[in-house]
Amino acid sequence: MTRVSFDVNGETHQLELDTRTTLLDALREHLHLTGTKKGCDHGQCGACTVIVDGRRINSCLTLAVMHHGDEITTIEGLGTPDGLHPLQAAFVEHDGYQCGYCTPGQICSAVGVLAEVKAGIPSHVTADLNAPLRLTNAELRERMSGNICRCGAYSNIAEAISEVAGRSA
Amino acid sequence: MRSFSYERATSPGAAAAAAAGTANAKFIAGGTNLLDLMKLEIETPAHLIDVNGLALDRIDETADGGLRIGALVRNTDLAADRRVRRDYAVLSRALLAGASGQLRNKATTAGNLLQRTRCPYFYDANLPCNKRKPGSGCAAIGGFSRQHAVIGASEACIATHPSDMAVAMRVLDVVVETVRPDGATRSIPIADLHRLPGDSPEIETTLQPGELITAVALPKPVGGTQAYRKVRDRASYAFALVSVAAIVQGDGTGRVALGGVAHKPWRVEAAESELPRGAKAVTARLLADAKPTKDNAYKLPLAERTLAAVLREARG
Amino acid sequence: MRFEHPATFNPIDQLKVIGHPTSRIEGPLKTTGTAPYAYERHDVVPNQAYGYVIGSAIGKGRIAAIDLEAAKGAPGVLAIVTAENAGKLGKGERNAAPLLGGPEIAHYHQAVAIVVAGTFEQARAAAQLVRIDYAKGDGRFDLAAGRDEAIAPHPSFGGPADTAVGDFAAAFAAAPVQLDATYATPDQSHAMMEPHASIAAWDGDKLTVWTSNQMIAWGAEDMAKTLGIPRDNVRLVSPYIGGGFGGKLFLRADVLLAALGARAARRPVKVALQRPLMFNNTTHRPATIQRIRIGAERDGRITAIGHESWSGNVSGGEPETAVSQTRLLYAGANRMTATRLAALDLPEGNAMRAPGEASGMMALEIAIDELADKLGIDPVALRIANDTQVDPEHPQRKFSQRQLVQCLNEGAARFGWSKRNPKPSQVRDGRWLIGMGVAAAFRNNLVTKSAARVRLDRQGRVTVETDMTDIGTGSYTIIAQTAAEMMGVPLEEVSVRLGDSDFPVSCGSGGQWGGNNSTAGVYAACVKLREAIAQKLGFNSAEAVFADGVVRSGNRSVSLAQAAAGGDLVAEDAIEYGDLAKTYQQSTFGAHFVEVGVDADTAEIRVRRMLAVCAAGRILNPKAARSQVIGAMTMGVGAALMEDLVVDKRHGLFINHDLAAYEVPVHADIPHQDMIFLDETDPISSPMKAKGVAELGICGVAAAVANAVHNATGVRVRDYPITLDKLIAAMPV
C-alpha cells in the first residue's frame, strides 16, 4: 500500500492504494468517478482517456501512485447534465455516440486534441511539419483515432468536434 | 499483476544502482508497454523504480551541432520540437505514425526504444514463446505469422520490433547514452542497441542489468529529403506491416532502414550504395537473406514498392 | 392488442413528435459519464467483492487436475468457484457450450474458474496462482477441412437446410452466361466497447444481477435454468448497455460466474470479462465458405440462382444462415439454396449484427458484380433488371413494401455513379487508384410480441416501463416519442424506464426488431391508458382527443394531471401479431455506394466516400436511425477491410484476441458518410408503420467496398477481409 495525493476535477484526494492500482481503477473503484470507462484495460481503445496536467492520456496504462501531485480532469469535471460543456452539448446535438460507453473518452480526447492543435503539435497527416496548423477533417480524424467507437459514430463525432472547434477558433 | 514495491528515483545513478541492487527490479517511465504486460504477467517485476522525477525531459543542443534528447522526453514533445521538425523530419514523422495521441503523450524516448514485440503468441501466456519463456518453443513458427519478421529471424523467434521511432533513429545514426549501476556512463550506437533473436530471443538489447538510458544523441543534421512511410491495414493506431525510413540527398545517395521486417530496425549500409539504381536494387541487397513465411512473403514486394514510392517522392 | 389487419390512421400518424430528429433524451447522461453501466453500480448494494475469470488454456480436452492451494492462500481471496465445487448447473436454452467448463473443455478461454477477492488487484493476481493441468484432446478447428463432412442442420432461425424451386441444375447448365464462384468470410468479433460485465447479489435465495444484456427475459430465464432456481427468484437489471451487436443477447460467463462467486463468497460480486478473454470466451460471427452459381440470359435476366453456405459450430450450435437473402432478393424461376454445418471445436458461433444476411450479402453482392462484368451490364442496371415485387419462391406473396429500385436509382444519382468508369484501374488521383462500387442492402423485418406498462400521474407525467433495452439504438428516445405522441404530451413530460425484468416483457434488442416492436408495444399500452382515462372522465374513448396535455371530447376538456388527480392511472398491454407476416413478405431495402482509393504502390485501401439510401418503413427518429445506419456502414468497412479472427488450427483458438490485434475501424478509416431514407410507411408491419434499420445498414456494405476495390485495381478478392497482401502481387502497375 502506498499513499498518494492528487487533484481530481479541482478537489484534492488522499488515497492509500495497492501499488498495482491503475489511475483508471483509482478513479472508478475508489473515487467512484465511473464516467471514465474501462474498455480494454490495455491502451487499445481510448475509453479511459482523462486529462492529466493538461494532456490527454490513457488512464488504464498508468499507476495511480505515479500521479502524486497531479491535476486530473475527468468527464465529470467538464460538465454536468444540467450544465454541459460545449463539447458535451455538441455530442448530444450531433448524435456523436450511440451506446455511450466510449463517449466520455471521446470527449476528453477531443478536449486534448483542441489543445494540441492550439499548441501547434503536428500529426501524422500534417502535410507540412513547419507550417501553421489547420484543423481539417483529416487532422481531426487522425488525432481522434486513439478512441474507438464500435457503434461507428465517427462521422457524427467529427461534426460535433468541428462545430466546437469552429466556434472557439 | 504481481505485487511489487515502488520507489521514486532521485538521480539516474541512484536509479541504476537501485535496479542492480534489488532483485527483479524494473524502471518505469511512461508505463504504456510495461503495465500492459504486467497485467498479463508477461512482465513480473517485484520492484518498480519510477524514473519520471529525473530531470531527463529536455532536448538540448550539443556542441557538435546535434541534439541530445532526454530519455524521458515524451513522444509528443519530441515529434513537435521545432528543431526536430526542421532538421530531423524522419524522426518527427516516425513518431507521429506511431500509437495514438494519448499514448504519445505518455510514452518516452527510452521506453519507445525498449518496446517489446507485439507478436500475439508472446501476448498469450498459454502458448509457447521463447521470448516469454525461454526453451518453450516458438508458436509463431508454423502459426499466424502475417506480421512477423522476414529477415534476421531464427529457429527460436520470428518476432518483429514494433517501434517506428527506432527505425527513424537508425537512419539518423543516433547514439544511446546510458548510466550503469556503478555510475559509469557509456554511449551505444543505435545499430548496436537491439539484438537479433538468435537462440536467446528473451535478450532484446545489449543493455546490461540495471543500465539506464539517459539520453539519445542526434548527430548534427545531415539534410536531404527525409521521409517515413508506414504501411498498415488500418489508417491509424496500428503497428506497421512494413515501414520505410529514408534520407535522400540531392545527388541520389542516402540512407534507408526498414521497420516491421525484423527483430530490430533493419538497415544494411552496404545496400545504400544501390540507391541511385532504385528501390529494386536496394531491397535486393537489403533483404537478400530474407526467409519469409507463407503468411508474410508479401512483405518483400511491399518493402520494395514502398521504398520505390518514397524515393519517387523524395526525388520530386 | 392484436395486430391482424393493415394499420389505418391512428394517433401516431399525427407526427407531432414521432418522425422528428429529436436528440437522445439520455444524451446528457451519456456525455457527462453519469449514465450507469453494469460494473459501475456502487449505488445498488454495499460490500462488493471482485471476481476475475480464468479461461481455458486449451481448445479441446479435459482438465486433469486443479490446484487451488496457492490461490486460496493469496491475499484477499474470498472464494474460488470451479465446475468441481459450483454444484450442479444446468445450461441455458440459448447456450450451446457450457458457460463454466470442466472437466470437459469445449473451447479455448471457456471459463473454468472465478477467483473472488476483496479488490480487483487481489483477484487478478490470485487468478494467476490457480494451477490447472490439462489433458489436451484432438479438436477440429479448420472449416475448410470439415466442409466435406458438414451436415444438413435442422431447420433453424434462418429457414430449412435445403430449398429448391424449379430446376436449378438444368437452368444453370442451359444459361448462356454463367457465374460459379466461391467466397469466404472470416470469423468476426462483436468487440463492443463495454466488456461483458455484471454485479450479482443474493438476498436469501433471491438473486439480483446488474448486467449488460440485450434480452432481459432470455437472460433471466437462462440464469434460472442454469442455476436450477425458480425464474421468479431472478431479477436482471440492465438500463445501459455499452454496445451489444448480438454479443449480449444471451446469458454469458460474466453474469453466471458473478452469481456463483457471490453465492460462494457470501458477498455481492462484480465481474467484467477482461478484454483478451472476450474474443474466445464469448460468441462470434462464424466464418463461412459460400458457393454462388448464377445463370443469366444475355440481357441480364437471371434464370437460375443457387447459393450454398458452409459454416461450423460447437456441438449444439447453429449454422450461419448466409443463404437466406438469396431466397428473396432477386427474381429467377429456378432457385436453390443449401446450408451446411460442420462440427468445430472453436468458440461458440452465434448472432452478430444481421446474422445470415451480413455474411451472405458479402458474397452475393460480389457475385452480382462479377455477373455484371461478364454481361457487360452496369451493376445498378443489372440489379434493377432482376427486381421482384413478390417472394420469388411464393409468387402469390407480395412484399409489403419494396423500394430497392428506388434506392438504387436515387443513390446512383446522388453518388455520381454515371461518372464511374466500368473498366477497372483507369482512374487515378495522385498516388491513389480510384474505384466505385455498389451493392444492394437487404434485411428482413421481424415482428414479435412486445409489452409495456404506461402510467399517468397526478402531475400529468407519463412513465413508460418495459424490459426493452437501449444498446445505443435510441430505444429511450423513440419510446418517449411514441408515448408523447399517443398521450398528447410534450416529450419532456415522458419518463422511460428500461431494462428491468420486473417490467413487462418486450421484444428486446436484436435482429433489428427492437424499434418497431417495442414502440408498437408502447402504442398498445397507450391505447389502453387512453381508454382508461376516457372511461375515468366519462368520455367516449373513440372521440377523445389527447393533445397539449389535455383530453378533449365534444366541448369538455380536462388536463391529464386532473384526470389522474385521484391516483395514478396505469395500463399494461402488449402488441401481438396475426398472420400479416405470413401473407406478406416484410423486408427492408437499401443501396450502398462506396468510393475507395487504393495506393498504387502499397495497395493500402482507404474509403473515400460512402452513401446509403434506405427504405425501411416509417423512420421514427431520423437522427437516431441515421446513426444506426452509419454505424452499421462503419462496421461493414471493418468487415471489408480488416476484421478477421484468425484461427490457429494447431492450438484451436482465435489468436488475435485483443483490440490491437483484432482491428476494427478507427476515426481515420471512415470518411464523412451520407445516408438518406426514402419516404415510406408500412401499414403491414405494425401500428407504428415502421421497420428495422439497424442491421439493414451493414448488409451489402462490405461487398460495395470489395466491388470498389475491384473497380480501382482490377483485382477480384473473394476472401475477406480484403487486405493489401491479397492485392499486391496483382496490382496493375
ipTM of the complex: 0.98
Q: Considering CB atoms only, which of B36, B101, B237 is closest to A42?
A: B36
Question: Residues of B with CB below 8 A from A66's CB?
Answer: 28, 31, 50, 52
CATH of the domain at A114: 1.10.150.120
In tens, the pLDDT along C404-434 reads 999 999 999 999 999 999 999 999 999 999 9
Q: Which of A77, A109, A132 represents a domain boundary (last residue)? A: A77
Do A90 and A161 fall into the same domain?
Answer: yes
In tens, the pLDDT along B53-93 reads 999 999 999 999 999 999 999 999 999 999 999 999 999 99
To which H or E segment does residue C182 belong? strand C177-185
Report yes or no: B309 and B229 within 8 Å, Cβ to Cβ.
yes
Report yes or no: C327 and C392 within 8 Å, Cβ to Cβ.
yes
For the packed helices C357-375 and C701-713, what is the interaxial angle rounded to 10 degrees? 30
Question: Residues of C with CB below 8 A from B45's CB?
Answer: none
Surface-to-core class of residue C492, CB atoms within 10 Å of its CB (0-12 exposed, 13-18 middle, 19+ buried): exposed
What grid cell was written down for C189?
468479433
Residue C488, pLDDT > 50, answer: yes
Q: Which of A77, A100, A120 represents a domain boundary (last residue)? A: A77
Task: List, in sequence order, every residue forming a beta bridge with A80; answer none if it has no partner.
Answer: A83
The total number of structural domains in chain A stands at: 2
Instruction: Tell me whether C646 touches chain B (CB under 8 Å).
Output: yes
**A150·C39 Cβ contact <8 A:** no
Looking at beta carbons, which pairs linking A82-91 to residues 24 or more positions away fall under 8 Å? Answer: A82/C28, A84/C28, A84/C31, A84/C32, A86/A164, A86/A167, A86/A168, A87/A111, A87/A160, A87/A161, A87/A164, A88/C28, A88/C31, A88/C32, A89/C31, A90/A160, A90/A161, A90/A163, A90/A164, A91/A157, A91/A160, A91/C27, A91/C31
Residue with cell 517489446: B116
Residues 6+ apart with CB under 8 A from C476: C24, C25, C26, C470, C496, C498
Report yes or no: B201 and B263 within 8 Å, Cβ to Cβ.
yes
Confidence of residue A167 (pLDDT cuts 50, 70, 90): confident
pLDDT for the residue A168: 62
Residue with cell 450451446: C96
Do A91 and A160 fall into the same domain?
Answer: yes
| Cis before B292 (ω within 30) | no
pLDDT > 70: what percent of chain C?
100
Q: Which of A29, A51, A77 represents a domain boundary (last residue)? A: A77
In tens, the pLDDT along B148-203 reads 999 999 999 999 999 999 999 999 999 999 999 999 999 999 999 999 999 999 99
Do A70 and A93 fall into the same domain?
Answer: no
Residues 6+ apart with CB under 8 A from C128: B2, B41
* Chains within contact range of chain A (3+ C-beta pairs < 8 Å): B, C
Q: Give the separation between CA C414 and CA B241, rounded to whole angstroms.
A: 37
HEC readout, C557-621:
EEEHHHHCCCCCEEEEEEEEECCHHHHEECEEEEEEEEEEEEECCCCCEEEEEEEEEEECEECCC
Residue B30, pLDDT > 80, answer: yes
Do A126 and A152 fall into the same domain?
Answer: yes
CATH of the domain at A34: 3.10.20.30
Question: Residues of B with CB below 8 A from A126's CB?
Answer: 96
Mutation choice for B interface testing from C604, C659, C662 by most B CBs within 10 A: C604
In tens, the pLDDT along A125-150 reads 999 999 999 999 999 999 999 999 99
Q: Give the separation between CA C620 and CA A136, rounded to whole angstroms.
A: 33
Do A70 and A95 fall into the same domain?
Answer: no
For the packed helices C701-713 and C622-641, what is the interaxial angle rounded to 10 degrees? 50
**C40·A34 Cβ contact <8 A:** yes
Report yes or no: C412 and C418 within 8 Å, Cβ to Cβ.
yes
Phi and psi of C630, rounded to 5°?
-65, -30
- DSSP 8-state class, residue C324: G
Q: How far is A81 from chain B (nearest CA, A)?
A: 26
Do A72 and A105 fall into the same domain?
Answer: no
By CA distance, what is C724's nearest residue in B? B233
Question: Residues of B with CB below 8 A from C725's CB?
Answer: 146, 241, 298, 302
Do A112 and A68 fall into the same domain?
Answer: no
In tens, the pLDDT along A76-126 reads 999 999 999 999 999 999 999 999 999 999 999 999 999 999 999 999 999
Q: How far is CA C589 from CA C187, C211, C286, C332, in A?
A: 25, 34, 24, 19
Q: What is the mean pLDDT of chain B?
A: 98
Q: Considering CB atoms only, which of A22, A141, A146 is closest to B100?
A: A146
Q: Considering CB atoms only, which of A28, A33, A45 is closest to C193?
A: A45
* pTM, two decimal places: 0.98
Report yes or no: B140 and C661 within 8 Å, Cβ to Cβ.
no
Question: Residues of C with CB below 8 A from B232's CB?
Answer: 604
Do A48 and A101 fall into the same domain?
Answer: no
Decide: helix, strand or coil at residue A14.
strand
Do A131 and A66 fall into the same domain?
Answer: no
Report yes or no: C24 and A92 within 8 Å, Cβ to Cβ.
yes
Q: How far is CA C20 from CA B46, C14, C713, in A?
A: 59, 11, 43
Q: Which of C130, C1, C109 is nearest to C59 (CA)?
A: C109
Q: Which of C311, C313, C276 is nearest to C186 (CA)?
A: C311
Q: How far is B245 from chain A (nearest CA, A)?
A: 14
Q: Considering CB atoms only, which of B123, B238, B306 is closest to C663?
A: B238
Query: Beta strand C390-391 with B225-231: parallel, antiparallel or unpaired?
Result: unpaired
> How confident is the model over A29-45, as a mean pLDDT?
98
Do A7 and A30 fall into the same domain?
Answer: yes
Q: Residue A109 belongs to what domain range? A: 86-165
What grid cell was written down for C671?
470518411
Mutation choice for A interface testing from C20, C24, C29, C30 by most A CBs within 10 A: C30
Residue A169, pLDDT > 50, answer: no
pLDDT > 90: what percent of chain A?
98
Q: Provide the CA C57 distance to its chain's centre, in angstroms.
A: 29
Q: Edge-to-edge strand order for the sheet containing C131-136? A: C104-105, C61-67, C131-136
**C660·A88 Cβ contact <8 A:** no
> How confident is the model over C301-326, as a mean pLDDT?
97
Residue with cell 483484432: C662
Do A8 and A69 fall into the same domain?
Answer: yes
Residue A56, pLDDT > 80, answer: yes
Q: Give the separation between CA C120 and CA C114, rounded to whole angstroms.
A: 12
Q: What is the mean pLDDT of chain A?
A: 97
By CA distance, what is A80's nearest residue in C? C32
Looking at beta carbons, which pairs linking C551-554 to residues 24 or more positions away fall under 8 Å? Answer: C551/C488
Phi and psi of C381, rounded to 5°?
-65, -40
Do A70 and A92 fall into the same domain?
Answer: no
How much is the CA Rg of chain C, to the nearest whole Å? 27
So which residues of C are the catalytic ones?
Answer: 695
Surface-to-core class of residue C2, CB atoms within 10 Å of its CB (0-12 exposed, 13-18 middle, 19+ buried): exposed
Residue C262, pLDDT > 60, answer: yes
